[in-house]
Amino acid sequence: MSMKKIFTSIAILLFTLGAWGQNNMGTPYSKFGVGLLPDNYGAYTGMGGVSAAMRDNYNINFLNPASYTALDSMRFYFQMGVTGEYVDVSTYKDHSNYKVAQNASLNMAFRVYKKTFVSLGLVQRSDRGFDLIYSYPLIEDPTMFYVQQLEGLGGLNEAYLGVAYQFGRLSVGVNASYVFGKVEDRLTLVMQPATSGYYLKSQTLTRINSSLFTLGFQLPLPLTKKSELTLGGSFNFGTSLHGNRTFVANKISNTSGAIINVNDESWDNGEVFFPFRMIVGASYQYNKKWIFAGDYTFQKMSAYEEFGTNQEFQDYHKAAIGGSLQPNESGRYWWQRNKYTAGAYFTRSQLKFNYTDINTYGLTVGTQMPLRLARQELMLGVAVDLGMRGTHRNNQILEKYAKLRINIAFKEIWFMKAKIH
């Protein structure tokens, strides 16, 4: 692929991010920890987000580095994806909505030597965005009240370099990642009706940068001439991420706008402990047309800590299932060559309030459309994810969302010379 095409693809992705990000406040549930960790993204979004045992020669499955060995050894791969989300947020008495772009990714992959493949890329690892307003009446004077506004933004990104190698049927891989980003909390406290006094504004900013390693394996097992079972898994061991946190509080005059610093503190060389995480699963392929897959994800979020303080989360669990049908990979008609996907997933998140679990349920459908061009192939993936997060029970927040995932993958003939006739 030419550099012009690569830069054009990146520009399209950035434009898509900007278009969706005009109202980028996001979910109130992203307030906790380093933001909302995605439940479903990547090349197999339309299959419920399965990844552990998924391997093919069209998609870069960066969620399991062992999958790189399934790629075409004579091709260079370039892939990009982004999710646009529309969410309806409600409590038992209030209602609002927002839209946001999230979970963007840019990936490349190619073979470097015999059975050794390399991938590198940039992926959004978490998203943070919320804007909450509360009011508190004064006991001494019921005609006056405090208005408290809480805002949050930021998130973490991951730049990775992955290597995979195949031993017989067994493939193993590792992603060496650099995780970086910042999360920010802003608090504004104003007395209403406004007087000639001051209002309070504070900011807590946490910057994170550190290394993280993801190990993966995949083992295809032929069952019959037409069927194959693949086992797979990927793992992150518990890792301490380096963090730096600063806190600033100011009093601001309601009349002149003069700023008086109240507090300015910094805590250096802190740590955010990212707990052990694993994804294990299996996929079954029949007659090179049908694929059925299932995943289970576990993360020991009860061990999650920020700057030495346990956040009292519960452990994270996710179950996902999915299937796909490709009628005829080399069929004459475009609808025969398409992959049609469907799936579902359930997540019990790390969040629990007032004895109420914050769960997520989702149903997915999608398609992957292969297009053959001169000296290259393009796979256009489109997936729709419909679901809900949270509940109205016990005064909690319910979110109903519709997500659209666009995934574009190119395969370029790099290592073959054109024949001269």
**Burial of 217: CB neighbours in 10 Å, binned 0-12, 13-18, 19+:** buried
Positions of the chain with pLDDT lower than 70, given as ranges: 1-26, 195-196, 266-268, 374-375, 413-421
Closest CA to 64 of 35, 78, 81, 43: 43
- Residue 311's φ and ψ, nearest 5 degrees, are -90, 5
Residue 280, judged by CB atoms within 10 A of its CB (0-12, 13-18, 19+), counts as middle
**pLDDT at residue 1, as a whole number:** 46
Q: Are 110 and 76 in contact (CB under 8 A)?
A: yes
Give the pLDDT score at 189. 86
Q: Are 60 and 408 in contact (CB under 8 A)?
A: no
Residues 284, 285, 291, 297: is their CA dihedral positive or negative?
positive
Q: Give the pLDDT score at 46.
A: 95
Report how far Cα 68 is from the mean position of its chain's Cα atoms: 20
**pLDDT tens digits, 320-353:** 999 999 998 887 888 888 999 999 999 999 999 8
* Predicted pLDDT of residue 416: 47
Residues 6+ apart with CB under 8 A from 336: 327, 328
Closest to 161 (Cα-Cα) out of 126, 125, 124, 122: 122
Measured in degrees and rounded to the nearest 5, phi and psi for residue 14 equal -65, -35
Q: Are 267 and 205 in contact (CB under 8 A)?
A: no
Q: Are 388 and 16 in contact (CB under 8 A)?
A: no
All residues at 6 or more sequence positions from 221 whose CB lies less than 8 Å from its CB, including other chains: 169, 228, 229, 230, 231
Q: Partners of 177 in the beta sheet?
A: 160, 212
Report the pLDDT value the prediction gives residue 267, as an integer from 0 to 100: 67
Contact between residue 282 and residue 53 where contact means Cβ atoms under 8 Å apart? yes
Domain boundaries 1-411, corresponding CATH code: 2.40.160.60
d(CA 34, CA 101): 17
130, β-bridge pairs = 152
DSSP character at residue 74: T
Reading the block at residue 5, the tokens are 């095409």
Q: Taking the domains of the chain in order of start, what are their residue ranges? A: 1-411
Rounded to whole angstroms, the Cα distance separating 124 from 35 reads 11
Residue 390: what pLDDT?
A: 92
Q: Which residues fall within 8 angstroms of residue 6, CB to CB, at 6 or more apart?
A: 78
Question: Helix and strand tally (H, E) in the chain?
Answer: 2, 18
pLDDT score for 25 = 56
Single pTM value for the model: 0.87
The separation between the first and the last C-alpha atoms of the chain, rounded to the nearest angstrom, is: 24
